[in-house]
Amino acid sequence: MRPASSPYIDESSAQTERIVQSLLQEAEEGGVGPEEREEIVGVWHDAIRLLEPVRVLVPYARRIRVPSSQVRIRRDVTRLLDVVRVISWLHQHSRTRDQHGRIIATEEDFRTALALVQEPLMKSWQALSPAEEKVMGAIRSLPEKKRQTGFKRSDLAVEGAQPRTVQEALSSLASTGYLERDGRRGSQGYSYTLVRDPAGLTLGISLEPPDDAAGEDEGTRGSRGIARESDRAIESPSLQEDPEIARSRGGDSNESQQEAREPDEQDTVRQRPIDLAKETIHERGEDYYFYGKEQKAKPAGIKLAELGWVRKSDVTADEVVVPTGATVGDVDRDPVARYTASFEIGSVQVMTATEIFQGGGRVLSKGEHIPPDWPSDSREVHERLSRLAPILRTTERQHPYFEGYPYPCEEPPEVREGYIYVEYWESEAGDKEGLWVFAVNEPGEPVDREEVEDYVWVRVKPLEKVAEHFLDLPGAFD
């Protein structure tokens, strides 16, 4: 489960005072000794051992009302439900269970969870860094007329912030739609106007009374639909989207969808990120190319083609031809193929051969000794996958399966038959390592090619130094 806490460090003076006082107290009193620490840890371990792995139902889930104005709510609603489940799980000895032994979450669990996630969710929805919050506070202190008609950076009094930090915050606020910049940089810099104030946002999550809930008797069926909808987003931390980044998937005809998935190479000419960017941002000694609203709205397949990233047809041809000498038995014998069987049904993994080489062996050995037949380097990993890709695409195997999202201490997971759709992407420039894509689906479930392209684009952005939101820049979470 992803944490519900804020991604930013508390930079308030009150937090600094608490840290300083804690350090001074530890220096004066000696802190916690080894024996006392061991005793505390022992009590904690004993408490955890009293908790058994068990599923949690949220019977009132369909009575929870959430706003739909932001794309990221698709992920955040699952996080909220996960917090509800964890609270119920921790209190399992005081919670009722159904006939199958599953814990029944109480409405008080929901209220406790909402209180815990309210502040971090608000910060996430506002999408403001600490520096941007300070600058926004200074903007609010300006006279209303100045906020609406235009102000300069020099008009802002931001305590403890350097002019460069203020300028970077203003640029980010303009790119995310909170401010509007006039585009004419005078001797005193750009003029800005306040378009929307994040302070006006409200969480808007509530629990309706039982009388207003339709079909409450069916509530114990759980919330698989909500949780499964967000599985893929959870697996890729960098998929957090600003509402303005969400791209349109317009067009109903098969022809328009095919054009979005497979850009015509004659129509899409390879370009440099700097030529497509709205502005260039210098961060930590490197240039990053910040895409504007129009460029961000393009389908991922188009953006990949523009930067010269293409599917390698000889690895992922739709008409699968098993290479000479390769059999289905290779799937059971080859350690790289065994590693891919650890991918969960419903997941999409995008990895380089180097990443697979470095991490796959440890997954198979569960942290112990790497299997002796594991490839000797990333080149061998790539060669094996090139040979095995057609077999993986046509062979059903057992894969982990979670109904919804994994619960605390749930081991082992359920396994089901599934198959892996394999793709390989490479840069025409040849200066970057290619990307292997593994989309795990249940038999008969079609592959969403647009979704695959979305995941590839998430990995390509940092390789090409492209940013579509300030969160894509290095140090955003420092």
pLDDT at 228 over 80: no
pLDDT reported for residue 205: 83
pLDDT at 94 over 60: yes
Q: Comparing 375-379, 387-391, 411-415, which segment has the lowest mean pLDDT?
A: 411-415
Cβ atoms of 393 and 320 closer than 8 Å: yes
* Mean residue pLDDT across the chain: 75
pLDDT reported for residue 42: 86
Q: Give the mean pLDDT of 430-449.
A: 88
Q: Which band of pLDDT confidence, cut at 50, 70 and 90, is reported for residue 286?
A: confident
Cβ atoms of 182 and 150 closer than 8 Å: yes
Q: pLDDT (tens digit, 9 = 90+) per residue, 96-140?
A: 988 888 999 999 999 999 888 887 776 666 556 778 878 888 888
Greatest Cα pair distance, the chain, in angstroms, is: 77
d(CA 236, CA 351): 11
Closest CA to 459 of 429, 433, 420, 428: 433
Cβ burial of 213 (10 Å; 0-12, 13-18, 19+) is middle
Closest CA to 429 of 272, 257, 261, 295: 272
Token output for 170: 């203003």
Cβ atoms of 448 and 300 closer than 8 Å: no
Residues whose CB falls within 8 Å of the CB of residue 403, separated by 6 or more in sequence, listed in order: 222, 224, 227, 228, 414
Cβ atoms of 132 and 141 closer than 8 Å: no
d(CA 219, CA 60): 6
pLDDT at 143 over 80: yes
pLDDT reported for residue 176: 61
pLDDT at 376 over 50: yes
Q: Which band of pLDDT confidence, cut at 50, 70 and 90, is reported for residue 16?
A: confident
pLDDT at 234 over 50: no
**Segment holding 441, helix H or strand E:** strand 435-441
Strands 64-65 and 179-181, sheet pairing: unpaired
Cβ burial of 84 (10 Å; 0-12, 13-18, 19+) is buried
The more confident residue out of 109 and 247 is 109
Provide the percentage of residues in the chain whose pLDDT is more than 90: 16
Q: pLDDT (tens digit, 9 = 90+) per residue, 44-64?
A: 888 888 888 889 999 999 999
Residues whose CB falls within 8 Å of the CB of residue 54, separated by 6 or more in sequence, listed in order: 89, 92, 101, 102, 103, 407
pLDDT reported for residue 88: 93
pLDDT reported for residue 124: 65
Q: Comparing 238-247, 309-318, 319-328, 455-464, which segment has the lowest mean pLDDT?
A: 238-247
pTM above the 0.75 mark? Answer: no
Buried b or exposed e, range 249-288, using 16+ CB within 10 angstroms: eeeeeeeebebbbebeeeebeeeebeebbeeebeeeeeeb
Q: Comparing 53-62, 63-72, 283-292, 309-318, which segment has the lowest mean pLDDT?
A: 309-318
Cβ atoms of 334 and 388 closer than 8 Å: yes
Residues whose CB falls within 8 Å of the CB of residue 107, separated by 6 or more in sequence, listed in order: 60, 207
Report helix, strand or coil for 301.
Answer: helix
Which residue segments constitute the domains of the chain, with CATH numbers given? 13-125+220-238 (no CATH), 130-200 (1.10.10.10), 310-447 (no CATH)
pLDDT at 473 over 80: no
pLDDT at 409 over 70: no
